[in-house]
Amino acid sequence: MKPLLSIVIALGGAGLIYAGFHAIDPGAQSQTGVGSQAREIISQWYWVKGYDSWMKKDERSLMDHYRLALALNPNNLGYWRLAAQTLAYDCAAWKIASLPANGPTERAIRAEYGKRALQFYETSRPWFEDNPDWWLGAGFLAERTLQDRALALSYFKTALETSDQAYLAGRLMVRLLIEEKRHREAYYFLKEWYPRLPENCPEARKPALLEWMRRLEDYLEITETEPLQQP
């Protein structure tokens, strides 16, 4: 692997580095002139090199390595997700640890890095428009780093619209609606979604969803004969 890597870097390194520091174009990845297998190898190399930067808590170098790795292999959703999470959590923690006494608050720093992480992750959307896992990842970032439940709900909803098997997205939608005290919306959603789920499918968790509906019926004082009021 190392001889191949050194040859490819010698032949195309300059062009690859240029690609990594500029906006990634879904239609431009073939312009490097390097075969897909070689691109993947070099992408892995840059990704591993990023670990050295992570150990040194060097945010700029770390993100440069991540951008290079993703410019070469933009179809790797795992890389995109981990890079965004590292930016949101690890890089934010490094920044907070270096704050002066009269500097920005921890909350402000986490909000800033959460926004940057989601913006970074959003640049990968063109490769994963039809992938519910991408929308789930975006929803997690929106909820956990930005504390933006409305935005998270929109991402989870799109995940469910993208695939009938995005069962986790549906459950997350119900949880968020309940936490937002939008109980009737949660119940209406469950009432409409539940019949469309497959029977005897562990991933769908129909028994748990049925229990949620029963609890919501008790909370909302809905009887079986009472017509459901759509919110």
Structural domain including 140 reads: 77-180
Domain-terminating residue out of 59, 74, 89: 74
Torsion of CA 115, 119, 121, 122, to 10 degrees: 130
What's the pLDDT at 224? 61
- Name the domain count of the chain: 3
Mapped onto helix, strand or coil, the DSSP state of residue 50 is: helix
Question: Cα(first)–Cα(last) distance of the chain, in Å?
Answer: 59
Q: How many CB atoms lie within 10 A of CB 72?
A: 26
Domain-terminating residue out of 50, 74, 98: 74
174 & 229 share domain: no
53 & 6 share domain: yes
58 & 1 share domain: yes
Q: How many CA atoms lie within 13 A of 92 on its CB side?
A: 22
DSSP string, 151-220: HHHHHHHHHHHH-TT-HHHHHHHHHHHHHTT-HHHHHHHHHHHGGGSPTT-TTT-HHHHHHHHHHHHHHH
How far is the C-alpha of 207 from the C-alpha of 196, rounded, in Å? Answer: 14
115: which 2 tokens?
A: 């926004």
104 & 168 share domain: yes
159 & 87 share domain: yes
What's the pLDDT at 69? 97
How far is the C-alpha of 112 from the C-alpha of 99, rounded, in Å? Answer: 14
The per-residue pLDDT string of the chain (231 residues; one tens digit each, 9 = 90 and over) reads: 444 344 334 333 434 443 444 445 544 444 444 578 889 999 999 999 999 999 999 999 999 999 999 999 999 999 999 999 999 999 999 999 988 777 678 899 999 999 999 999 999 999 999 999 999 999 999 999 999 999 999 999 999 999 989 999 999 999 999 999 999 999 999 999 999 999 999 999 999 999 999 999 999 998 764 444 444
175 & 88 share domain: yes
6 & 88 share domain: no
Phi, psi dihedrals of residue 115, rounded to the nearest 5°: -65, -45
58 & 69 share domain: yes
